[in-house]
Amino acid sequence: MGDQLKGRTVFITGSGGVLGSTYVRRMLDQGARVVASDLPGHRAEALQAAHEGNENFRFYELDVGEEAAVEEIFKRIMGDGWEPNVVLNNAAITGEMLMGKGKSFPDFCDTTVEDFEKTLHTNLTGAFMVARQMDRDIVGRYPSTLINVASMYALNGAHHPIYDGMPFKNFSAYGVSKAGIHGLTVWLAGYWAKRNATVNTISPGAVFNGHSEEFQRRVGELIMQGRMAQPDEIADVMLFLASAQAGHMTGQMVNVDGGFSAW
Ligand SMILES: NC(=O)c1ccc[n+]([C@@H]2O[C@H](COP(=O)([O-])OP(=O)(O)OC[C@H]3O[C@@H](n4cnc5c(N)ncnc54)[C@H](O)[C@@H]3O)[C@@H](O)[C@H]2O)c1
CA distance 249 to 259: 21
Residue 206 near ligand 1, beta carbon < 6 Å? yes
pLDDT in tens, 105-147: 788 999 999 999 999 999 999 999 999 999 999 999 999 999 9
pLDDT of residue 169: 83
CATH of the domain at 200: 3.40.50.720
94 Cα to the center of ligand 1, angstroms? 7
Residue 65 near ligand 1, beta carbon < 6 Å? yes
Query: Considering the chain, what percentage of its residues have pLDDT values greater than 90?
Result: 91
Q: How many domains does the chain have?
A: 1
Closest CA to 230 of 249, 250, 211: 211
The answer to whether residue 98 sits within a structural domain is yes
Domain that holds residue 258: 9-262
DSSP conformational letter for 53: T
Q: How many CB atoms lie within 10 A of CB 108?
A: 9
The answer to whether residue 100 sits within a structural domain is yes
pLDDT in tens, 210-262: 999 999 999 999 999 999 999 999 999 999 999 999 999 999 999 999 999 99
Tell me the one-letter amino acid at 234: I
pLDDT of residue 230: 98
Q: How many CB atoms lie within 10 A of CB 192?
A: 22
Ligand 1 pocket test, candidate residues 35, 38, 101, most atoms within 8 A of CB: 38
Sign, Cα dihedral of 51, 53, 56, 59: positive
38 Cα to the center of ligand 1, angstroms? 10
Q: Are 148 and 127 in contact (CB under 8 A)?
A: yes
The answer to whether residue 3 sits within a structural domain is no
Nearest CA owner, ligand 1 atom 20: 17
pLDDT of residue 100: 72
pLDDT of residue 66: 98
Closest CA to 154 of 44, 9, 253, 36: 253
Residue 21 near ligand 1, beta carbon < 6 Å? no
